Amino acid sequence: MGVEEIETYAETYARSLRDPAGFWASEAERVPWFRAPTRMLEQDEQGVWRWFTDGEMNTAYVALDQHVDAGRGDQLALIYDSPVTSTIQRLSFRELRDRTARVAGGLRQLGVEKGDVVVIYMPMIPETVIAMLACARIGAVHSVVFGGFAANELAMRIDDAKPRVILAASCGIEVQRIIPYQPLLNRALEVAEHRPEHVVMFERPQCPVEWLADRDLEWLSWEQASQPVECVSLGATDPLYILYTSGTTGKPKGIVRDHGGHAVALNYSMRAIYGVGPDDVFWAASDVGWVVGHSYIVYGPLFAGCTTLLYEGKPVQTPDAGAFWRVLAEHRVNSFFVAPTAFRAIRKEDPDCTLRKQYDLSSLRYQFVAGERLDPPTYLWLQEQLQVPIIDHWWQTETGWPICANMAGLALLETKAGSCTLPVPGWDLKILDEAGRELGPGEEGAIVVKAPLPPGALPTVWGDHQRYLASYWDDYPGFYQTGDGGYRDEDGYVFVMGRTDDVINVAGHRLSTGRMEEIVAAHEAVAECAVVGRADAEKGQVPLGLVILKNDVKVGGRALRDDLVSAVRQGIGPIANFRESVIVKRLPKTRSGKILRKVIRNMVDGERYQIPSTIDDPEILSELHQELLDQGVIGDK
């Protein structure tokens, strides 16, 4: 029985802060090392706290070989479920290891060695997972770029990472739309200053490749001709991957993850947070191009010996709003993780969840949500429909694993709608005001984490350590700045109210648009909403609500506005000055489902804005602009 199973949450959390080196040393013993660490926590020459500094291991060995060596090679490792291609493929740990070893050998034959970068520009197919693990096997640093990213964005990442090889596929598939990748890659390589030595293309039948004889290699023949290689021994602090996230300057930041801390933290999280272990089936409905895909499609589940699901589809339209229920039932998923926006899409299409009744979901033990704030109406709807613990948890690309969660591997605590519960062991979370003073219960401020951060968090930004310091440490010395704002209640529960730039200033009062969204979303006619601060000559800013109605609702704009004004007035008070809402058809979002509030804010204020490379559908912006123009929200500028 693990120590976390006999301690309370409070005891475990206190121990992790009182003796971080000792706490994580015991967790490190659960990971197979080639050379076990003796130095658990120390600062490097740049003053960054690093974990397990003299340990040696290999991430691909932790994910694959250790299970084969333990006699579990025939256990199912990966299920590829693709409704867009009507394909289901299953790979055991042995099959996945063997293909990974061969692709790793192919990379080495192309000259890739430890420390070289490989850019992966591929969709949700098994070869993408194999590519990531193959890089880890030989010590190459992979940088997965979300499939379908615009050529200029891809070029910026190529120039920053300087890959020796690019692994790509011919296309991605969005519902019924084919997105050719090769033209995007070709344009990116025309724009980029850096030139990779080789490009290996995986040709999908939906989109043939136009081969460039002097550059391109065909994936399957390359893989088959390659000799498999063993895992190399790597230092715990050697870089495993670079994952680019949006930066305030427009240039993406290359978040770096190391081998040792990453393996220990994710292995711990699977057991302690997600409540799963060997033989369980874990599904994170995300994309491998995002941090959720890295941590909880590829690495975390395989570290823990779980079966992981790779789903190439949508919550709706593939073929209907019952898509998720079908996958959960067919593959007997035990723990499921997805962004709230997916469930809002399902709820909009099927408010009474009639399609769910067609499927047996008895295998499901826990439903996790993250990636954006879980609004209380969606939380309550999920609770009613699934009848399992609904666990909102919060973390970031930079942290690599959850900062706050209700931990399924411990005794579950009481949940509170709108809260991600309490900090996970290892994360010394504080709420500070602008002067760096710690705030009390109910007082909203900046959410920060005291150094040292636990294993798995970013140690730097690729090639720009000063940017790492400026972005995350300079504003609150000694504390990692999450960039999110929120508060803790009298029980210590954490409420994340959104990015700190989503706080609006109404007549000198700082108010969270997240709280207003809670109230607006609770209206029975509302499927989804966004509240942004609109510039106001008198009050500085005033809130504006953008509302999407449920499919089966017919309500007048004035009646709905009056209802929402009354609800916000009652929930927050006249101080909120919430007086305006408009009904729209769609809201602009990133491909991972986050509403582009800053773009909306610039639009309603008549300011210039850039179309983000991460936007799901750029046409939504012109559609929204016309709707706001027609309703008199904005002028004809």
CA distance linking residue 193 with residue 459, whole number of Å: 27
What does the pLDDT read at residue 1? 34
Pick the CATH number of 511-630 from 3.40.50.2300, 1.20.120.1750, 3.40.50.11600, 3.30.300.30: 3.30.300.30
Reported residue count of the chain is: 637
Count of Cβ atoms closer than 10 Å to residue 294 Cβ? 27
Label residue 150 by pLDDT band (50, 70, 90). Answer: confident
What confidence category does residue 617 fall into, taking pLDDT thresholds of 50, 70 and 90? confident
Delimit the domains of the chain by residue range: 3-313+393-486, 511-630
Q: What is the pTM of this model?
A: 0.86
User: Does residue 515 register a pLDDT over 90?
Assistant: no
* The three-state (H, E, C) secondary structure of 138-206, written as one string: HCCEEEECCCCCCHHHHHHHHHHHCCCEEEEECEEEECCEEEECHHHHHHHHHHCCCCCCEEEEECECC
Q: How many CB atoms lie within 10 A of CB 170?
A: 22
d(C-alpha 21, C-alpha 205), whole Å: 51
Q: Which of 336, 492, 516 is nearest to 414 (CA)?
A: 492
With CA atoms as reference, report the closest residue to 184 among 215, 209, 149, 219: 149
How many other CB atoms sit within 10 Å of the CB of residue 451? Answer: 16
Q: What is the mean pLDDT of the chain?
A: 92
* Model pLDDT for residues 306-323, shown as the tens digit of each residue: 999 999 999 999 999 999
Intrachain domains 3-313+393-486 and 511-630 with the same fold: no
Q: Provide the pLDDT for residue 608.
A: 83
Most confident of 269-278, 534-543, 547-556: 269-278
- Using the structure block, give the residue that is written with the tokens 């729209």: 584
% helix / strand / coil in the chain, to the nearest 5?
Answer: 35, 25, 40
Neighbours of 430 (CB within 10 A): 18
CA-to-CA separations, 609 to 249, 596, 613, in angstroms, rounded: 13, 11, 12
Contacts of 505 (CB under 8 A, 6+ apart): 511, 533, 540, 541
pLDDT at 507: 66
What is the rounded distance in angstroms from the CA atom of residue 14 to the CA atom of residue 617?
Answer: 45
Residue type, 458: L
Q: Which residue has the tokens 């949508």?
A: 314
Helix (H, G, I), strand (E, B) or coil at 329: helix
Is pLDDT above 70 for 50?
A: yes
pLDDT tens per residue, range 180-223:
999 999 999 999 999 999 999 999 999 999 999 889 999 999 99
Q: Is the predicted pLDDT of residue 550 greater than 60, yes or no?
A: yes
pLDDT at 172 over 90: yes
Q: Which two tokens stand for residue 82?
A: 């693709």
Mean pLDDT computed over 608-629: 87
In the prediction, which pLDDT does 247 show?
Answer: 55
| Better-predicted residue by pLDDT, 500 or 520 | 520
Of all residues in the chain, the percent with pLDDT exceeding 70 is 97
Which range among 238-242, 448-452, 543-547, 610-614 shows the weakest confidence by mean pLDDT? 610-614
Residue 123 to residue 201: CA distance in whole angstroms: 12
Query: According to CATH, what is the number of the domain 3-313+393-486?
Result: 3.40.50.12780
Decide if pLDDT at 32 tops 60.
Answer: yes
- Between CA 386 and CA 364 the distance in angstroms is 9
Would you state the pLDDT for residue 151?
84
- The encoded tokens of residue 325 equal 């229920």
pLDDT value of residue 213: 85
Per DSSP, the chain holds a count of helices (H) and strands (E) of: 20, 31
Interval 19-42 mean pLDDT: 98
For residue 3, the model assigns a pLDDT of: 44
With 80 as the cut, is the pLDDT of residue 248 above it?
Answer: no
Of 147, 397, 116, whose CA–CA distance to 256 is shortest? 397
